[in-house]
Amino acid sequence: MIRFRPLAFALLMTSTAALAEGPQLIAPLIPAPASVEAGTGTLTIGEGAGIVAGDAGAKTAARLLVQQVKVVRGLTLAGDAGTGPIRFVRDAGVAGDEAYVLTVDTNGVTIAASGDAGFVHGAMTLAQLLSPDAAIGKPVTLAAMTIRDAPRFKWRGLMIDPARHFVPIPTLYAMVDQLAAQKMNVLHLHLTDDQGWRMEIKRYPDLTRIGAWRTPPSSGGAPGPKVGGFYTQAELKALVAYAKDRAITVVPEIDLPGHAQAAVASYPAEVGVLGDRPAVSHDWGVNPWLFSPEDRSMTFIKHVLDELMDVFPSQFIHLGGDEAVKDQWERSPAVQAKMKALGLKTEMQMQSWMIDQLGEYLAKHGRRMIGWDEILEGGLPPSASVMSWRGEKGAVEAANQGHDVVLSPAPTLYLDSLQSNRSDEPAGRISGGDAIVTLADLYKYEPEPKGLAPDKAQHVMGAQINAFSEYFVTPEQLQHATFPRLSALAERTWSPKSTQDYAGFVARLEPQMGRYARAGIAAADSAFAVDFAVQGTRGDALRARKVPVTLATQAGYGTIRYTLDGTAPTARSKAYGSPLSLKSGVVARAAAFTGDGRPTAVPRLFETSRAALLRRSNSEMVACPGGSLNLRVPLTAEATALAPVYNINIFDSCTMYPAAPLDVARGFSVDVARLARHYGLAHDASKLVPHYAVTTYGELVVRAGGCKGTIAATFPLPDPATSPNRMTFRGKLPEGKGDADLCLQFTQSLESPIYAVESMQLTETN
Ligand code: ACM
Contacts of 486 (CB under 8 A, 6+ apart): 158, 178, 179, 182, 184, 465
Calpha distance 453→643 (Å, rounded)? 49
What is the predicted pLDDT for the residue at 638?
86
For ligand 1, mutation pick of 191, 192, 389, 470 (most atoms within 8 Å of CB): 389
Residue 229 region by backbone torsions, left for phi larger than 0, else alpha for psi between -120 and 50, else beta:
left
Q: Is the CB of 638 under 6 A from ligand 1?
A: no
Cα(285) to centroid of ligand 1, in Å?
A: 10
Distance 260 CA to ligand 1 centre (A): 14
Higher model confidence: residue 8 or residue 196?
196
- How many domains, the chain? 4
Strands 213-214 and 227-228: antiparallel
Q: Is 638 exposed, middle or buried (0-12, 13-18, 19+ CB in 10 A)?
A: middle
Task: Give the whole-number percent of the chain exceeding pLDDT 90.
Answer: 90
8 Å CB contact between 17 and 595: yes
The CA distance from 618 to 482, in Å, is 24
Residue 177 lies in a domain: yes
Q: How far apart are CA 323 and CA 669, in angstroms?
A: 42
pLDDT in tens, 494-524: 999 999 899 999 999 999 999 999 999 999 9
Sign, Cα dihedral of 311, 312, 315, 320: negative
Q: 58 and 120: one domain?
A: yes
Same domain, 551 and 664: no
State CA 508 to chain mean position distance.
Answer: 21
Residue with the smallest CA separation from ligand 1 atom 3 is 322
Give the model's pLDDT for residue 381.
75
pLDDT of residue 26: 58
pLDDT of residue 722: 96
Q: Is the CB of 372 under 6 A from ligand 1?
A: yes
Q: Are residues 601 and 625 in the same domain?
A: no
Which residue has the least CA distance to atom 1 on ligand 1?
A: 322
Best residue among 255, 322, 375 to mutate for probing ligand 1, ranked by most atoms within 8 Å of CB: 322
The strand pair at 428-429 and 460-467 is best described as unpaired
Query: Please, what is the Cα angle at 219 between 218 and 221, to 5 degrees?
Result: 70
Q: For residue 31, report the distance from its CA to the centre of ligand 1, in Å.
A: 27
CATH code of 585's domain: 2.60.40
What pLDDT does 432 receive? 64
Residue 695's pLDDT band, with cuts at 50, 70 and 90, is very high
Q: What is the pLDDT of residue 14?
A: 40
CA 387 to ligand 1: nearest atom: 4
Nearest residue to 619 (alpha-carbon basis) of 603, 633, 637, 638: 633
pLDDT score of 5: 33
Asked if residue 575 and residue 652 are part of one domain, the reply reads no
Cα 345 from chain centre? 39
What is d(CA 62, CA 675) in angstroms, rounded to the nearest whole number? Answer: 51
- Sorting pLDDT into bands at 50, 70 and 90, what band is 625? confident
pLDDT, residue 585, reads 94
How far is residue 517's CA from residue 381's CA, in Å, rounded to a whole number? 45
591, 624: one domain:
no
- Catalytic residue IDs: 193, 259, 323
Which domain range does residue 109 map to? 12-149
Give the chain's radius of gyration (CA, Å).
28
**Atom number in ligand 1 closest to CA 466:** 2
Q: In this structure, are residues 638 and 443 in contact, taking their beta carbons and an 8 Å threshold? A: no
- Residue 426 alpha carbon to ligand 1 centre in Å: 21
Nearest 10 degrees: CA dihedral of 408, 412, 415, 420?
Answer: -170
In a domain, 520, yes or no: no
Are the C-beta atoms of 747 and 603 separated by less than 8 Å? Answer: no
The shares of helix, strand and coil residues in the chain, as percent rounded to the nearest 5, are: 30, 30, 45
160 lies in some domain: no
Q: What is the CATH number of the domain that holds 741?
A: 2.60.120.260
> Which DSSP symbol is given to 456?
G
Distance 393 CA to ligand 1 centre (A): 15
Ligand 1 atom at minimal distance to the Cα of residue 323: 3
Show the 3-state SS of 457-524: HHHEEEEEEEECCCCCCCHHHHHHHHCCHHHHHHHHHHCCCCCCCHHHHHHHHHHHHHHHHHCCCCCC
Q: Are residues 582 and 647 in the same domain?
A: no
CATH number at residue 245: 3.20.20.80
What is the residue with the minimal CA distance to atom 2 of ligand 1?
Answer: 389
Looking at 558, 584, 609, the residue that finishes a domain is 609
Amino acid at the residue 578: S
Where a domain ends, among 462, 496, 522? 462
* Nearest atom, ligand 1, residue 408 CA: 4
- Rounded Cα distance, 656 and 666, in Å: 17
Cβ(322) – ligand 1 distance below 6 Å: yes
| 539 and 620 together in one domain | no
C-alpha 12/C-alpha 15 separation (Å) is: 6
As a whole number of angstroms, the distance between CA 482 and CA 496 comes to 23
Identity of residue 458: Q
Q: Which pLDDT tens digit goes with each residue over 47-97?
A: 999 999 999 999 999 999 999 999 999 999 998 889 999 999 999 999 999
Cα(501) to ligand 1 centroid in Å equals 30
Judge if the beta carbon of residue 389 lies within 6 A of ligand 1: yes
Residue 706: pLDDT above 50? yes
Asked whether 703 and 745 are in contact (CB, 8 A), the reply is yes
Assess if residue 495 is contained within a domain. Answer: no
- Residue to probe by mutation, ligand 1, list 372, 373, 465, 471, most atoms within 8 Å of CB: 372
Cα separations in angstroms, 582 against 165, 614, 764: 44, 16, 20
In ligand 1, the atom with minimum distance to the C-alpha of 259 is 3
| Residue 64 included in any domain | yes
How many Å lie between the centroid of ligand 1 and the Cα of residue 322?
A: 6
620 lines ligand 1 (CB under 6 A): no
For residue 395, the CA-to-ligand 1 centroid distance in Å is: 14
pLDDT band at 23 (very low <50, low <70, confident <90, very high): very low
Lowest-pLDDT range of 7-11, 47-51, 198-202, 489-493: 7-11
Letter string b/e over residues 659-675, b meaning 16 or more CB atoms within 10 A of that residue's CB: bbbbebbebbebbbbbb
Q: Which atom of ligand 1 is nearest to the CA of 410?
A: 2
Residue of 323, 470, 684 with the most ligand 1 atoms within 8 Å of its CB, for mutation: 323
Contact 527, 439 (CB under 8 A): yes
pLDDT tens-place string over residues 373-406: 999 988 887 778 999 999 999 999 999 999 999 9
Could you count the other beta carbons within 10 Å of the beta carbon of residue 259? 29
Residue 362 lies inside a defined structural domain of this protein:
yes
Average pLDDT, the chain: 94
Atom in ligand 1 nearest the alpha carbon of residue 468: 2
Burial 571-607 (b: 16+ CB within 10 A, else e): eebeebeeebebebebebbbbbbbbeebbbbebbebb
The last residue of a domain, from among 587, 609, 631: 609
pLDDT for residue 269 is more than 90: yes
Residue 186 and residue 242 in one domain: yes
Q: Is the CB of 414 under 6 A from ligand 1?
A: no
Asked if residue 480 belongs to a domain, the reply is no
Ligand 1 close to Cβ of residue 323 (< 6 A)? yes
Is residue 477 in some structural domain?
A: no
Shared domain for 236 and 138, answered yes or no, is no
Do residue 196 and residue 338 come from a single domain?
A: yes
The packing angle between helices 475-482 and 485-494, to 10°, is 50
219 burial (CB, 10 Å; 0-12 / 13-18 / 19+) is: buried
CA end-to-end span of the chain: 80
Do 114 and 205 belong together in one domain? no
Distance 457 CA to ligand 1 centre (A): 24
What's the per-residue H, E or C state across 515-579?
HHHHCCCCCCCCCCCEEEEECCCHHHHHHHCEEEEEEEECCCCCEEEEECCCCCCCCCCEECCCC
For residue 389, the ligand 1 atom closest to its alpha carbon is: 4
Angle between helices 233-245 and 169-181 (to 10 degrees): 10
Instruction: Give the mutation target among 256, 468, 469, 470 for probing the ligand 1 site: most ligand atoms within 8 A of CB.
Output: 468
Closest-CA residue to 299 (of 357, 341, 235): 357
* C-alpha span between 206 and 202 (Å, rounded): 9
Give residue 27's pLDDT band: very low, low, confident or very high (50, 70, 90).
Answer: low
C-alpha 294 to ligand 1 mean position (Å): 25
Q: Are residues 251 and 176 in the same domain?
A: yes
Cβ(759)–Cβ(661) below 8 Å? no
